[in-house]
Each structure stands twice: as C-alpha cells, then as structure tokens.
Amino acid sequence: MADPVVAIESLCYGGAGFGRMDGKACFVPFTAPGDRARIKVVKDKRSFIEGELLELVESSPLRVPPTCPVFGQCGGCDWQFLPYPEQVQQKGAIFADTLARIGKVPRDKVLPVLASPADFGYRSRVQVKVTERAGRVQLGFFRTGSHDVVDFGAGCPLAHSQLNRMAAEFRELLPTLPQLEWIHQIDLSIGDNGEGIAIVHSRGGGSALVERLARDRSQLPSVGGAFVSAGRKGELERAFGIEALTYRVPAGITPGSKELRLRFGRGGFSQVNYRQNLALISTACAWAGLTGQERVLDLYCGNGNISLPLAQSAARVLGIEGYGPSIVDATANAEANGIENVDFQVGDAAQAVRRLVKRKECFDLVVLDPPRGGAEAAAELTGLAPQKIIYVSCDPATLARDLASLCNNGYQVTRSQPVDMFPQTYHLESVTELVRL
C-alpha cells in the first residue's frame, strides 16, 4: 500500500499540522497550512491519526527557509519554516478555538495576539544538555522524543547572544573538567543588564568541580556567577561570582508607579522573554484597575513579578508561592524597592486558598499564574468572593478547563489577551480577566 498524502489545513496546539484522512483528524509535525504531505502513519486510533512527514508532494506558499541548521532535529522549535506573522495568526486561532471548545469562552472575548518585538534572540534562559560523542563535547538540546543530544554548533538562534557566548566558553572549558562524563546539563540565565549565571549539573564530584570552576574563572568571562548542582539532592554550591540576576519594571506601568528593579536568585524562576514579561505585567495591572483601596491575593507569585507592580496601587497584597527561594527573592524585592504593603508566604496555593476560605477571608482581586498543569483549586477561589480574577497562563488547555470551572461558579470571562512569549514554538502565554456575576 502506498504511503498516503494529506492536505494540511491548519496548525494545532502541540505544533503539528492538521488535515483529514479517511474521515479522521490527522496530525503531522513540521507541516504548514497549504502543504500536501506524504506521510508514514505512526499511530492510527479510532478518532485520529498521527503521521510522520516523509515528503512534501506540494509545498505551502507560506514556507520560508528555517534559520537554524539543526531545525527539525533539535526538539526546541516547531515553526521556523513559517514567517513570524503567520505563526502569530495561527497561535491566535488555536488559542481562541481552545478556549471556545473547552472553556465555552465566546470568541469575541479573545483579543489579537500581542506579538513579540523580537522573534529570534529573545530567550534569557536556556537549559543546555551536555554529552560526549567520539571524544568531542556536544552542547545542545534533546532530539524530539529522545535523550539524544543535538549539538547546536555556534548557538541557539532563539537564545540571547550573551547566552550563546556563555555556552561557547563552556564548550572550550568542559573537556578540561574532572569527571566530564558526569556533567549532563548547564542552565544559563541572564538579567536584562546582560549579567549571567550558570548552574552546572553533575551526577557527582561536586566539590572537585566547584574548585575547578573557581580556579578557571578567567576562562568564563561572560559568566558572572557559577554554581554546581551535584548528586541526588541537587543542592547548589557556589563556585564564584554573583548569586542573583535582575530585571527592570519601568515607571508608569500603573498610573504614577515608580521604576522597580526585581531580582531572582540562581535556580529561581523568571519569564524567558523580558520584553513580553512587561506586556504581561502591564496588561494585568491595567485590567486590575486598582484605586488604592483593594486587598489583593497573588497565587504562585514567584519573586513578586506581578505582586509588586500591583502593590503600588493597592491597599494590601498577599503573595503565596510554593518555592521557598522565590519568596526570599520576593521579600528582598519588596524591601529593596521600598514597598511595605505586601506580605509573602511560602505555601501550596491550593491549600492556602482552602485555609483562607475557612477563615472567611475576602479579597477584591485574585491574581494567579500557575504552572502548566493549571490551578488545582480554581473553583474554590470563588469562596474568597473576589470581584475580579486575573488568570495568567502558559497552557491554553488547562486555562480553558479552569475557566469553565470558574464560569460554572458565578464568574464570566470579560476578555483574554494572548501574549506570544515563545516565537518559533507553539507555546503561548495569556492574561484572562473574569468578573463576578
């Protein structure tokens, strides 16, 4: 039987092209709307088919040459073969469809995607995989669906140039380090001022590695601080340099607000696209519409990324975060920026909501920015009686699920703003506003 040919109609969440075959939905990675693709069927289920691209019988007129020489091998990108405006259009359609289908959110509540000012060189953090092959160090990312490292050569085009310089310096240094075979990953991060921190992950030999990095500091001129995470516990040992990075939140992000400088410690979370992070903060603050009288709850608050800008227009803000070091950063950020009307607590968000509901506490505004799995206690937020909820999400499917839950418990979606934090991939950030009926 000849390999089938599928006409690709659109893109879908997950990055694959979508077409139809024998009356079933057919998903084919690395295809574009307008392609006619010869495929190998790799999964044939009752309602859908997954295919592997064998040949483009007819190429879409949308296609452009990928920038990266290892695109299609490395698992980091999905859509480099599409011009960026088309990526944005497809993301908006997927996002609106997901919210309508799962969350029953009317499509007219979804605003156009805020495109990233830079579609390459925007990432401020990368996790670089390390291996050795035929006596040569390989630095890069995993091949799709495997733990095979694809070497990115001169660097990743999505990463800021400073990160690629840091990676290049490690490429030269790694062969000289003890127990190279134990080193499997290097986390590279920069602040918006270009300072960089590296965390070297090793399966052992932590002390010897710390000593060598400290001794060879001069060979890593682009690295402002270096740490080692060794063994099963993965505790960080400092080799040299700075312990935190910073980024700026400009004045005026809320009416009359002052400039903030926010830090996050080594290993702490920060958004990967600083300019789009400001778009998230700006949208959340504008939609909050605070007058100085409100009590605000910020769940999954991290280092105070949204809490502290909001606090400048609120009566009081309570931030809750499960990762202790981020709360250390949030507290330090409040103190460094002279913000006194905030309280930060380490705790599980769902348990915190249940505890606050049990104490019959109320908030005017609840902001949440959960991980990809969504908010465990979404429906229980209604027990805090907020007039407004602002939900920041990095996963449209879990967002839609949680919106459906909230809308079944007395709230309605008034608007949702997708924000493209991750060009060249299918991933999308968003801010959604709900108000109490």
Token pair 């991980």 is found at 371
394 carries an active-site annotation: yes
CA 39/CA 18 separation, integer angstroms:
12
CA 87 centroid distance within chain: 17
Token pair 């805020």 is found at 114
| Amino acid in position 231 | G
Going from the C-alpha of 47 to that of each of 17, 26, 27, the distances in angstroms are 16, 9, 11
Q: Supply φ then ψ for residue 306, to 5 degrees.
A: -105, -35
Enumerate residues 6+ apart whose C-beta is below 8 A from 116.
122, 273, 275, 276, 420, 421, 423
Enumerate residues 6+ apart whose C-beta is below 8 A from 196.
162, 163, 166, 188, 189, 190, 222, 223, 224, 225, 245
The arrangement of strands across the sheet holding 342-346 comes to: 342-346, 316-321, 295-299, 365-368, 388-393, 429-436, 411-419
Tokens of 97: 């469809």
Of 68, 74, 301, 394, the active-site residue reads 394
Residue 139's DSSP bridge partners are 130
Task: Say how many residues make up the chain.
Answer: 437
**Is beta strand 295-299 parallel, antiparallel or unpaired with respect to 316-321?**
parallel
What residues are annotated to the active site? 394
